[in-house]
Chain A
Amino acid sequence: MIYTSIESIIGHTPLLQIDAERYGIVHTNVYVKLEYLNPFGSIKDRTAVGLLSNVSMDDLKTHDKHIIESSSGNTAKALQILAARHGVPFTSVTNRIKVPEVEQQLRYFGTTIVSLPGRSECPDPNDSGNAIATINAMITASPDRYHHTSQYENRDNTLIHQHTTAAEIYDDLSIVDHVVTGVGTGGSSGGLIEYAKAHRSAAKHVGVVAHPSDFLPGIRTKNELFETELFNEDDFNDILEVTSTDALEALRDLVLNEGILAGPTTGANFAASLRYLQSHDVPRKNGDKQSLVFVACDRIEPYMSYIMKRQPDLFGTHTYSDLYSIDLTTIDVDALRKPANAQTQDWIEQSRALVIDTRGVKPFANFHIPGSISYPEEMLREILSLGAPFDRDVPLLFVCPIGERSDILAAILRQRGYDAYGLEGGLLSWRTNGLPLVRKRDIDG
Chain B
Amino acid sequence: MKRALDDKNSLFDAVDTYPTPLSVGLPSMVHENRDNFMDVARELNVRMRLFGAHKATYSPSLVATLLGHGGVDVASSWELRNAVACGFEPSDIIATGPKTTSFLRDLVQERATIIVDSPEELDRLTAVCIGEVSVLLRLTRTMINDQTITKRSRFGMDQAGFTDALTILNRHPQITLRGIAFHLDSQSITERVTAIQKAMDCLIDLQSQFPSATVLDIGGGYGANYGLSYEQAQLFENTLKRAHKTGGSMHTWQGFSYGLDARAQLQGVELPAELSGADRLRAVLASTDSDGHMLAEMVNENLIELWIEPGASLFHDAGFVVAEIIEVRQLDDHQVVLVDAHRNQICFENNEVLSDPLLIQRTPQEIKKTECVLLGHLCAESDLLSYRHIVFDTMPMAGDLLVWTHTGAYRSHFSTSTAIGHTSPTKLVYRHKTTIYEPEYES
Contacts and interface: CB of A to CB of B under 8 A. Distances in A.
A123 B301 contact: no
Interface string B144-162: 0110111100000000000
B301 A360 contact: yes
Given A212-B234, A227-B241, A114 B186 contact: no
Interface string A15-36: 0000000000000000000000
B293 A360 contact: yes
B298 A360 contact: yes
Given A129-B265, A442-B208, A121 B223 contact: yes
A362 B298 contact: yes
Contacts of B382: none
B244 interface: yes
Contacts of A98: 190
Interface stretch (A52-60, A218-226, A253-261, A390-398): A218-226
Contacts of A227: 241, 264-265
A234 to B, nearest CB: 8
Contact residues on B (Cβ < 8 Å of other chain), bracket = 35 or more
Contact of A128 (B186, B214, B263, B302): B263
Contacts of A428: 303
Contacts, number: 125
Contact of B186 (A100, A120, A367): A120
12 contacts: A115-B148, A119-B271, A120-B185, A125-B268, A129-B265, A130-B263, A213-B274, A226-B244, A360-B293, A401-B301, A440-B205, A441-B207
A121 B302 CA distance: 29
Interface of B: 47, 145-146, 148-151, 185-188, 190-191, 204-205, 207-209, 211, 214, 221-223, 230-231, 234, 237-238, 241-242, 244-246, 263-265, 267-268, 270-271, 273-274, 290, 293, 297-298, 300-303, 312, 348-351
B267 A363 contact: no
Contact of A119 (B149, B188, B204, B208): B188
Contacts of B150: 114-115
A117 B188 CA distance: 8
A129 B263 CA distance: 9
Given A212-B231, A439-B207, A223 B185 contact: no
Contacts of A213: 230-231, 274
Interface in A389-423: 401-402
A360 B303 CA distance: 12
B415 to A, nearest CB: 11
B205 A441 contact: yes
A366 interface: yes
Given A117-B145, A128-B263, A439-B207, 14 more contacts: A116-B151, A119-B188, A120-B187, A122-B349, A212-B231, A223-B234, A233-B246, A362-B293, A366-B204, A366-B302, A367-B204, A367-B207, A401-B301, A441-B205
Contacts of A116: 149, 151
Nearest to A364: B301
Contacts of B223: 121
Contact of A439 (B149, B208, B264, B300): B208
Interface string A416-445: 000000000001100100000001111000
Nearest to A124: B349
A287 interface: no
A180 to B, nearest CB: 22
CB-based closest 9 A-B pairs: A118-B188, A226-B241, A441-B208, A227-B264, A363-B301, A118-B186, A117-B151, A359-B301, A115-B148
A113 interface: yes
B420 to A, nearest CB: 23
Q: Which of A100, A359, A363, A402 has the most CB of B within 10 A?
A: A363
A212 to B, nearest CB: 4
Contacts of B207: 366-367, 439, 441
Contacts of B148: 113-115
A363 B294 CA distance: 13
Contacts of B214: 431
A96 interface: yes
B356 to A, nearest CB: 20
A330 B338 CA distance: 72
Contact of A132 (B208, B264, B350): B264
Contact of B191 (A117, A130, A367, A431): A117
Contacts of B221: 121-122
B180 to A, nearest CB: 15
Contacts of B351: 122-123, 125
Nearest to A234: B246
Nearest to A107: B148
A117 B186 contact: yes
A119 B234 contact: no
A226 B241 CA distance: 6
A233 B247 CA distance: 13
Contacts of A442: 208
A129 B244 CA distance: 19
Interface in A115-164: 115-125, 128-130, 132-133
Nearest to B206: A441
A226 B267 CA distance: 15
B308 to A, nearest CB: 14
Interface string A80-118: 000000000000000010101000000000000111111
B394 to A, nearest CB: 31
Q: Which of A122, A227, A367, A440 has the most CB of B within 10 A?
A: A122
B303 A431 contact: yes
B162 to A, nearest CB: 16
Nearest to B207: A439
A125 B350 contact: yes
Nearest to A95: B188
